[in-house]
Amino acid sequence: MALTVVAFLVALAILIAVHEYGHYRVARACGVKVLRFSIGFGKPLLRWQPKGSPTEYVIGMFPLGGYVKMLDEREGPVAPEERHLAFNNRPLGARAAIVAAGPLANLVLAVLLYALVNWMGVMEPAPYLARPAAGTVAAQAGVQGGERVLSAAMAQDAPEAVRSFDDLRWLLARGALDGRNVRLTVQDGPDGATHELTLRLDRLDTREPDTELLKEIGLTGPWTRPVIGEVMPQGAAEREGLQPGDVVLRIGAQVVADGQQLRTLIRASVSDGAALTQTWRIERAGQVLELAITPDLREEDGVPIGRIGAYVGAAPEMLMVRYGPLEGLWKGAQRTWEVSALTLRMMGRMVIGEASVKNLSGPLTIADFAGKSAHMGFTAYLVFLALVSVSLGVLNLLPLPVLDGGHLMYYLWEGVTGRGVSDAWMERLQRGGVALLLVMMSIAVFNDFTRLFG
């Protein structure tokens, strides 16, 4: 819990500081006097002003935001000799640049964070396909389990090499949300033949969150050996004689291809509300044995499922994915662009009802992911920071009156018509923007509680 809070606060501090520094740096470059640079709102916990600097620096009590206060005749009297330093007296292009600099700083930060991860390298699962459940898109495409993905492409795009299962999962998420089919070039085993498969993602219902989409596709995780891991005391595995290291070859008449299929078969070992006894063929220390296994009966969301009280499936094969300086930077920029475009498309789909509002996340979910990524290691935390930084940058560029994008919308109007938005219209738009943001935040917080406590 403590790590989650610390990781969340550090993430907020970094992302807010970078955002506000973007505004601050460009304001200074455009000749605007900055009166205050604040991280957080409310009562100042810490404040200082370097000697000879016009800017006061503040750390506020509530860290959910920040601001840069500039000299502006609309907010108070300005001495005649300083009017040229006021924000409202700068040219339209300068004002637009100052406003856009905050979100753009977050996007630049995301590029650098992704690039840093690419340069450091990260251990990722190898791109081996697990045996998909019957009826899923992958099963219909002919995936048997155990194939290695060599390259992939959406629709008629040029194929790209797939270095890890995470690369494949990212491509599948994009293809599903875009409604574009994905072509896979796969190899059957280390020395097997290569062939092409087409995943028909254009048939998916994209209104559900992406975790549900991956279930429908049938490729929720990489291939793993169907091995029994640690056996829990007093569970079905211990009771029926299963041991750590046992490789499951067959359950009843069903040949077991991998760990994912094994977990599915165990869960489905139920008939008429009772646990189903089946003959398991296993390999133990080079010998093939047969055991009659009756799983324990459990309920999940009101549905009876089988459990054996053991870890099922070996860890996936891992490999180091690392890029050189230029390629790593390019990949960072490419990933930032793709996440930004995906975020905008998802928001657009939610507005027109083609995507579920369950995809909206609030501070509780972000804090939860901050803690989990911090537990997973430094590189996972950097990826989390990059993802939230992209979201913050994109969100602030939306044309909502209370956001940076709303101010840019005003400046666009001013550039086209030659006059600024009237005070009356400004007030109406601000009220509408606040109301819309409150609705979005309420939905996001509701989703947080549903995910974490539902």
For 378-385, which contacts have Cβ atoms below 8 Å and span 24 or more sequence positions? 379/117, 379/120, 379/122, 381/7, 382/113, 382/116, 382/117, 383/113, 383/114, 383/117, 384/11, 385/11, 385/14, 385/15, 385/109, 385/113
The vertex-431 CA angle with 76 and 73, nearest 5°, equals 15
Asked if the structure places residue 149 within a domain, the reply is yes
Answer whether residue 261 shows pLDDT above 80. Answer: yes
Give yes or no: residues 144 and 201 share one domain: yes
Is residue 233 domain-shared with residue 213, that is, in the same domain? no
Same domain for 266 and 207: no
Among the listed residues 20, 124, 147, 216, the single catalytic one is: 20
Average pLDDT over residues 137-148: 90
pLDDT band at 299 (very low <50, low <70, confident <90, very high): confident
Residue 233 lies in a domain: yes
Domain identity same for 205 and 234: no
pLDDT digits (tens, 9 = 90+) for 397-407: 988 888 898 88
Task: Using the 3D structure, point to which of 312, 339, 373 is the last residue of a domain.
Answer: 312
Residue at 318 is within a domain: no
pLDDT at residue 454, as a whole number: 55
pLDDT band at 328, cuts 50/70/90?
very high
Do residues 145 and 58 touch, judged by C-beta distance below 8 A?
no
Residue 292 lies in a domain: yes
Same domain (yes/no): 195, 245: no
pLDDT reading at 102 higher than 90 = yes
- For 62-89, the pLDDT digits (tens) are 877 888 999 998 888 888 888 999 998 9
Assess whether pLDDT exceeds 60 at residue 139: yes
Domain boundary among 261, 296, 312: 312
246 in the same domain as 193? no
Has residue 48 got a pLDDT over 70? yes
Least confident of 167-171, 184-188, 366-370, 398-402: 366-370
Q: Are residues 234 and 306 in the same domain?
A: yes
Of 290, 312, 334, the residue at which a domain comes to its end is 312
Q: How many domains does the chain have?
A: 2
Residue 378's pLDDT band (cuts 50, 70, 90)? confident
Residue 98 confidence class, pLDDT cut points 50, 70, 90: very high
* 145 shares a domain with 196: yes
The answer to whether 327 is a known catalytic residue is no
Of the two residues 113 and 407, the one the predictor is more confident about is 113
- Answer whether 343's CB lies under 8 Å from 390's CB: yes
pLDDT of residue 363: 66
Residue numbers of the domain that contains 154: 137-217
Verify that 187 and 259 share a domain, yes or no. Answer: no
Residues 6+ apart with CB under 8 A from 299: 305
Q: Does 142 share its domain with 194?
A: yes
40, part of any domain: no
Q: CATH number, domain at 193?
A: 2.30.42.10
